[in-house]
Amino acid sequence: MNLLSLSPQAVATIAFYLVVAVTLIGALIAVAARNIFHNVLGLAMSLIGVAGLFLYLNSPFVALMEILIYVGAICIAICFAIMLSEPMYLPRPPRKLSKILGGVVGAGLVFTLLFLLTKKTTWVPAAQRSTDWSVTTIGHYLLTNYALIFELVSLLLLVAMLGAIVIARGGRGSS
């Protein structure tokens, strides 16, 4: 049977059942997997399926927010918490004074440079802002004018967190 010969209702029904299958399979993985990381991946898969159901119900904004907030933020935060958590059976490594002093000096330099930068900058008054802060307008701006900036900031934060995990994992065994 050719997919092009199917009626639009049949294609919509097939798509609906595929999305329901993705949601249920993800939920089963989230509940039944023995590895906690696999549980989170199953949760993400199930939430993507729920976003597909919102798309099917003609609510693309809610579907995108489902993916952005639940899959993009909560599931990733859970993954980072799993990766950063220390096993209970390992002894805590002693703190090195040189690392603490290096961190304090580095933070002091950053804050000093930022303070000097703000003092030497000539500040210009902000442009007139819009007074319409409805959900429709904010959603429109996030998905049109500011979509690239929004995605770049989220990508930058993801890379920064991955770098922090790599540094934390590498420093654990070498101290």
126-152 pLDDT tens trace: 777 777 878 888 778 877 887 777 777
> What is the band of 49 on the pLDDT scale with cuts at 50, 70, 90?
very high
* Mean pLDDT estimate for the chain: 82
78 and 138 belong to one structural domain:
no
Q: How far apart are CA 154 and CA 156, in angstroms?
A: 5
Residues 74, 4 share a domain = yes
Higher pLDDT: 72 or 29? It is 29
Same domain, 139 and 82: no
Boundary of a domain, candidates 28, 56, 87: 87
Whether the model clears a pTM of 0.75, i.e. scores above it, the answer is no
Is residue 154 domain-resident?
yes
Structural domain including 175 reads 134-175
Q: Quick check: is 116 in a domain?
A: no
In a domain, 49, yes or no: yes
Contact call for residues 48 and 40 (beta carbons, < 8 A): no
Mark whether 75 and 13 lie in a shared domain.
yes
Q: Is 135 helix (H, G, I), strand (E, B) or coil?
A: helix
Give the pLDDT of residue 175.
Answer: 47
Closest CA to 44 of 59, 27, 56, 32: 27
Do residues 161 and 82 share a domain? no
Number of domains present in the structure of the chain: 2
User: Pick the residue with more confidence: 19 or 71?
Assistant: 19
76 and 147 share one domain: no
Domain boundary among 87, 122, 146: 87
Percent of the chain with pLDDT over 90: 26
More confident residue, 174 or 86: 86
